[in-house]
Amino acid sequence: MGYQLSLEDISVHLGNEQVLQDVSFTLNAGEFLGVIGPNGAGKSTLLKVILGIIKPNKGRITPQNKNSVIGYVPQSRPMDMGNTIAVKDFVSMGLPHSIRPWLTKKEKHMVNEIIALTQIGEFSHKSISELSGGQKQRVYLAQALARQPKIMLLDEPTSNLDPAAQEQVTSIVRDTSNKLGIGVIFISHDLNLVSQYADRILYLTKGNYAIGTVGEMMKSSVLSQLYGTKVEANADGNSFHISQSNQSEPISSYSYNGTE
């Protein structure tokens, strides 16, 4: 059946706010879960709870002691300007700790496989500071994969990237998840992007959430509950236009190629 991560009735209060309330879901092996929601909804808090950085006020995550199986990819940002480490060495730094200053044949083989999977071979001898934003994100992904994680948490890994690079990074994550059976939690502000790749979508708003396939999530009843106002979703072929009943302009429109 593979590795599963289960959250049961997770609630988190921060300051005076109820950020997460009774959130429950199971992430299956090889599943890609897209997490969307407005600013401050609790998306990063959810990842921090899974990472064990924030202790929930209520609820339980199983299995416990899971840090050795988690890979983490941060938000893309202009950084590493002075990072002169070669890409290949940077990826190798993700390997589980070893006191040896060299790589075994098996480790070298694994690093090469990951480099191929994340499509970073053509610049693997360059230094990090010479790469574009999209190339860097693939390198971070590769380093996280070197830990041989069972699940990957990605916190807006495609923000600040151009549309082509966003597509490339997300599709590589999808392929990797399929090939290695890794469960993925992928935070994004871009419903268009994640709905093309995700098996399920978790939509968070402060203190509320819904989870389901893209088709399930786009039902008027689900959206109305999340936005706290009546929302109409009209399906015309492969696209949806979501508009608030009292406004003429759609608040969100998107297309997707998924099937229900």
- Stretch in the footprint of ligand ATP (CB under 6 A) among 10-18, 164-172, 176-184, 251-259: 10-18
Nearest alpha-carbon partner for 4 in 66, 74, 49? 66
Question: CA neighbours within 13 Å on the CB side: how many for 28?
Answer: 7
Task: Please count the residues of this chain forming the interface with ligand ATP, following the rule CB under 6 A.
Answer: 12
Rule CB under 6 A: is residue 55 a binding residue for ligand ATP?
no
Rule CB under 6 A: is residue 216 a binding residue for ligand ATP?
no
User: Taking a C-beta distance cutoff of 8 angstroms, is the pair 141, 176 a contact?
Assistant: yes
Per-residue tokens: 156 = 């807006």
CB neighbours of 217 closer than 8 A, spacing ≥ 6?
201, 203, 210, 223
Rule CB under 6 A: is residue 158 a binding residue for ligand ATP?
no
How far is Cα 46 from Cα 198, in angstroms, rounded to an integer?
18
User: Taking a C-beta distance cutoff of 8 angstroms, is the pair 195, 189 a contact?
Assistant: no
Rule CB under 6 A: is residue 162 a binding residue for ligand ATP?
no
Rule CB under 6 A: is residue 185 a binding residue for ligand ATP?
no
Nearest alpha-carbon partner for 169 in 138, 201, 194, 196? 138
Among the listed residues 1, 15, 96, 228, the single contact to ligand ATP using CB under 6 A = 15
Rule CB under 6 A: is residue 17 a binding residue for ligand ATP?
yes
Among the listed residues 21, 44, 143, 158, the single contact to ligand ATP using CB under 6 A = 44
Rule CB under 6 A: is residue 41 a binding residue for ligand ATP?
yes
Q: Minimum CB separation from ligand ATP for residue 189, in Å?
A: 7
Among the listed residues 1, 39, 81, 236, the single contact to ligand ATP using CB under 6 A = 39
Which residues sit at the interface with ligand ATP, rule CB under 6 A? 14-15, 17, 19, 37, 39-45
